Structure 1
Amino acid sequence: MVIVRTPVRISFGGGGTDLAAYYRQFGGFVVSAAITRYCYVIANAVPDGCIHISSADYHMWQAYPRGVTPPIAPPLALPKAAVSWFAERGLLASGVDLFLASEVPPGTGLGSSSAMAVALVHALATYAGLRMTAVEMAELACSLEIERLNMPIGKQDQYASAVG
């Protein structure tokens, strides 16, 4: 069993300058800090080789049979995106049971979705035996949200959560 917690963040300034369209042209500068409110992910082995995803915040549970990678679509698109990234690389062949919870509700402006993305990456990497640095986890979390989920967000949230 793997239990991970990652902090959410508060932003003091520079929000928006972390968007690729901005910082590639003008550079960027943000000031944010991790706070003592957390997102949690528990990854546990499952005897049937299935993939189970449950979210306390959304009051949802979904299961996928052995060998079936969850489609990256709502509901629970973020954990499905993380699971699919690891499954595509053969790192979840034995299945996994994921439980997600947060101390702050979604949509508060504290970067909770990005903190959850980092928590998912950290938990799944640890579960799969893949060593990743905090920066690698932040970058993968960014990739999941920005590239796989097409979210119009920057990178400050993931980095604040991953490096504290």
Structure 2
Amino acid sequence: MSIRSRAPNRIDLGGGTLDIWPLYLLLGRGVTLNVAVSVYSHVALDDEPGGGYRLVSEDTGYENAAKSLGALDFDGPLGLVARAVRYFDPPPGLRVVTRNEAPQGSGLGASSSLLVALLAALERLTRRAPGSTDLVNLAADLEAQVIRVPTGKQDHYAGVYGGANAIWFEPGRNRVESLPMPDS
């Protein structure tokens, strides 16, 4: 088994913070504008010889390994990756390798893009297909569990949809409007 996935990082053009629940509700609605860029977050899923689970971050050097899914560290540096793997509950014998082209702290939404790429790869592995909006919501939920504060969703939408987008946050729904981009 070998699955590869990648998602673009993004540049926020405006409306950051307005994507956080319930802020956009208190304002009536919110809109964020962002553009996906050719800086990617990468995920590789492969067989892990000897069974168990091995999570590796190539760019940070962190590793999280355990014989059983429940024994992974869900609060350490790779806690977000571990929580995503636990959600999909794949069988043992899984190696997850992640890599970000964007440096940590760059402000390009790299961790959110990495999570979207990971969730998409795990969907393929487990043959689930929740759809793009559910992927965004799942990513935001898992991220909020790790950082323990409400999260926005614009970074996740950029990773799922790519391109330039206006993302409307309204009561009961979020709406992605693809924006035309001039040829360069």
Q: TM-score, normalised by structure 2?
A: 0.81
Deviation by residue 1:122-143 (Cα, 9 ceiling, x = unmatched): 1111111212322221121111
- 1:29 is paired with a residue whose SS is strand
For residues 48 and 127 of structure 2, what CA distance do their matches in structure 1 show? 16
| Distance of 2:135 and 2:50 partners within structure 1 | 28
Greater strand proportion: 2
Runs of 5+ in structure 1 lacking a partner? Answer: none
Q: Can you list the C-alpha shifts for 1:27-57, whole angstroms capped at 9, x where unaligned?
A: 1110001111100000112243311000012
Do the aligned partners of 1:69 and 1:83 also contact (CA within 8 Å) in 2?
no
Q: Where in structure 2 are there 5+ consecutive unaligned residues?
A: 163-184
For this pair of structures, how many residues does the alignment match?
160
Which of 151, 154, 157 is residue 156 of structure 1 equivalent to?
154
- Quick check: 1:143 aligned with 2:141? yes
Instruction: Give the Cα separation in 1 of the matches to 2:149 and 2:114.
Output: 14
Q: Percent identity, aligned pairs only?
A: 31
Aligned residues of 2:69 and 2:86 also touching (Cα < 8 A): no
Q: Quick one: structure 1 residues 11 and 67, their matched pair in 2 at CA, closer, same or farther if it must change by over 3 Å?
A: closer
Relative distance call for 1:129 and 1:65 in structure 2 (3 A) is: same
How far does residue 148 in structure 1 lie from its aligned partner after superposition? 4.8
Q: Supply the RMSD in Å over aligned alpha carbons.
A: 1.6
User: Structure 2: which amino acid aligns with 1:161?
Assistant: G
Select the structure that is richer in helix.
Answer: 1
Deviates more, 1:78-87 or 1:101-110: 78-87
Residue pairs, 1:25-40, within 5 angstroms: 25-26=26-27, 27-40=29-42
- SS where residue 112 of structure 2 aligns? helix
- Pick one of 57, 60, 64 that aligns with 2:59: 57
Q: What is the SS of the residue equivalent to 1:68?
A: helix
